[in-house]
Amino acid sequence: MGSQRAKLSVEDGNVIGLVDRNVFGSFVEHLGRCVYQGIYEPGHPAADAYGFRKDVMDLVRELGIPMIRYPGGNFVSSYRWEDGVGPLERRPVRLSSAWRSLETNQVGVNEFSSWCRRVGAEPMMALNLGTRGVEAALDLLEYCNHPSGTYLSDLRCRHGYPEPHNIKVWCLGNEMDGDWQVGHKTSTEYGRLAAETARAMKMVDPDLKLVCCGSSHTGVPTFPQWEAETLSHTYDVVDYVSLHQYFDDNVADLGDFLAQSMETDRFIRTVVAVCDYVKAIKRGKKDIMLSFDEWNLWYHTKAQDDDTMKNDPWQGVPKLLEDVYTFQDSLLVGCMLITFLKHADRLKMACMAQLVNVIAPIMTQEGGPCCRQTTFYPFLHVSRYGRGEALRSFTMSPKYDSKRFTDVPYLESVMVKDPDTGDLTLFAVNRSLEDTLVVDLALHGFQSYQLETHLVLEQEDLQAANTPEQPNRVVPAVRKDSVQDLGGGQFQISLNPASWNVIRFSPVYCRI
Ligand code: AHR
């Protein structure tokens, strides 16, 4: 084990953008055990009067999640929202074609929206533009948001929800470019349908925020032409375009694995460029913002899931996508989060996919406890300390080449300033597996600052994971003696190999 040097300098006022709170969003899909046995398990000792698990709600609140996308995902593209409202005993059981399982509809828009508010989040509602269209979208909008006095708003009142859900953010379908999607469309077909749905919805409420489907990943042959064509139809009536990205371990080595967030960066830059290209063609004034509304790692259980869906389909609550995340997975999640903050000017919403059990930071046992996965922690740190102004930095880091990436910096980092308190938080990953990174940090134009704390997530065993048997195997710790204050806003920080770091500074106020 050796050591390498890096330099980092930031200047007060050199701001990339204000980090939007909705960048810390999440996603609940009717898939596997995300809803049933995840957030909702009537009969569980921790269930509340509505059947929702209070222990899970506590962890969701701990993550500080402001917005949760629902009800899919692929599920939504054949969903009839009407099945999920009204008396529970009259709700039909349906086939969920996307996940080859059964949907009992015991949770629907009313239960989800009120649960969402109870955990301090707002719902982000996805519409079915696979098998349905403008009329069903308008009906759902009227049912959810109109106060009363119409057929559908009065129906909601009769269903026990007199207050409107007041859902402001709506996704115009899900991954409509993918041939796996029920009701998959060409970019022209989707662009027209999304535009007409958006136009009709904004006639009802011009303040709605609407998200147009971008490409489901960068590997599809239609990327980024899909964005250019669909936005050419929807530019005037939508506010965001979506990005989805999942990483796997189909890589040469760990260096290559951790470098994958460079692909996130490239993806964001390309989509911003396409949005601006369409704006120029339209002679438009507004910028289309980015909603990274599905992101994560997804690979541990893929083979098993394919087998379940093929050979044991149509189960009520199948175990699907129950990835148990390792320590090395949490490092890549950290790199993705840092990348999001570096694009705080245009990336205004993001949803980690998903929230519970299904590629999730929270895992539950049926009838038993729930636990925090390794990936819970970088998300928690960034959600808790990453709100404020993301600062542009000048970085000099040693680099490496991996099989798929060149010039990968060992140091991945971003600094965020809390404008209310003046506190500074540096989020940093050392991608080197062998070497300590000694970082010379210079704070320019700030008054004098002192170190508050250095939190670290690190493990000898990169495959270490948190399980029901060992729920606290990978947890953050406070590092001592890792930051030297050299005076005059200069600090020397030591980052251990393969580590996630949160280094917090606060202003020193002189008493007059
Ligand atoms: O999050 C799992 C699935 O990934 C979602 O249903 C779909 O939108 C994406 O392909």
At 163-204, the pLDDT tens digits run: 999 999 999 999 999 999 999 999 999 999 999 999 999 999
The pLDDT score that the predictor gives to residue 220 is 97
305 lines ligand 1 (CB under 6 A): no
Same domain flag for 395 and 348: no
Domain that residue 140 falls in: 27-250+273-299+342-364
The pLDDT score that the predictor gives to residue 350 is 98
How close is the Cα of 29 to the center of ligand 1, in Å? 9
* Cβ 331 vs Cβ 498: under 8 Å: yes
At 126-158, the pLDDT tens digits run: 999 999 999 999 999 999 999 999 999 999 999
- Does residue 473 register a pLDDT over 90? yes
Mean of the per-residue pLDDT values for the chain? 97
The pLDDT score that the predictor gives to residue 128 is 98
At 36-74, the pLDDT tens digits run: 999 999 999 999 999 999 999 999 999 999 999 999 999
Q: Length of the chain in residues, anyone?
A: 512
Q: Which residues of 374-384 are buried (b: 16+ CB within 10 A; e: fewer)?
A: bbbbbbbbbbe
- Does residue 251 register a pLDDT over 90? no
Which residues have a Cβ under 8 Å from the Cβ of 217 and sit 6 or more positions away? 223, 244, 245, 246
Nearest to 123 by CA among 221, 28, 13, 229: 28
Nearest to 79 by CA among 27, 140, 26: 140
Same domain flag for 479 and 346: no
Average pLDDT rounded to a whole number, residues 445-451: 92
Confidence of residue 250 (pLDDT cuts 50, 70, 90): confident
The pLDDT score that the predictor gives to residue 407 is 98
| CB-side neighbour CA atoms (13 Å) of 88 | 6
The pLDDT score that the predictor gives to residue 182 is 97
Same domain flag for 352 and 447: no
Average pLDDT rounded to a whole number, residues 279-308: 97
Same domain flag for 9 and 38: no
* Cβ 255 vs Cβ 402: under 8 Å: yes
The pLDDT score that the predictor gives to residue 78 is 98
Domain count, the chain: 2
Confidence of residue 511 (pLDDT cuts 50, 70, 90): low
Output DSSP code: residue 133: -
Give 512: exposed, middle or buried? Use CB within 10 Å, 0-12, 13-18, 19+. Answer: exposed
Same domain flag for 147 and 284: yes
Q: What is the CATH classification number for the domain harbouring 420?
A: 2.60.40.1180
Same domain flag for 73 and 106: yes
Ligand 1 mutation pick, 77, 246, 248, max ligand atoms within 8 A of CB: 246
CA 505, CA 277: separation in Å to the nearest integer?
Answer: 40
Same domain flag for 220 and 91: yes
Same domain flag for 8 and 156: no
CA 256, CA 306: separation in Å to the nearest integer?
Answer: 26
Phi then psi for 80, rounded to 5 degrees? -110, 110
CA distances from 228 to 216, 243, 271, 328, 358 (A): 14, 14, 9, 36, 32
How close is the Cα of 73 to the center of ligand 1, in Å? 5
